[in-house]
A = this chain, B = another copy of it.
């Protein structure tokens, strides 16, 4: 019932890049965050395809945030890495709990699960990375 280690790492990596305020290569990120190089590469790829991080190839390559920390939420990062947050196991709109003791009737717990999940997502969206940065850095804006 926790976020996965991978998501935890992803948060660290984004945090690390937000603090650095400059391009870092995978090796530096890996050392800074104590995530193995290989695994951080994998996570970085997800962050890149999720549009949170930009990558640059070649000698002076590396990774940097694709937008300002203020515009990156905890939800962006976690959702990118492990998909949308949901308490209930049965996603999608028209779920009917054929197995519930009510038999074929909409699962009576679905609503509460969805409500709570929605709140969690809302909270995670409201929490942006500028909130964990030292004041000066938080003020700055990426181009």
Please tell me how many copies of the chain the complex holds: 2
B12:A99 contact, CB within 8 angstroms: yes
A119 interface neighbour in B12, B87, B119, Cβ under 8 Å: B119
Interface string of A110-138 (1 = CB under 8 A from B): 00110110011001100100001000000
Instruction: Give Cα A82–Cα B101 distance, bound, in whole angstroms.
Output: 22
Mind listing 22 A-B residue pairs with CB under 8 Å? A1-B82, A1-B83, A2-B89, A3-B88, A3-B89, A8-B89, A11-B109, A12-B100, A15-B101, A15-B108, A19-B101, A19-B102, A32-B101, A33-B101, A112-B123, A112-B124, A112-B127, A115-B123, A116-B120, A116-B123, A116-B124, A120-B120
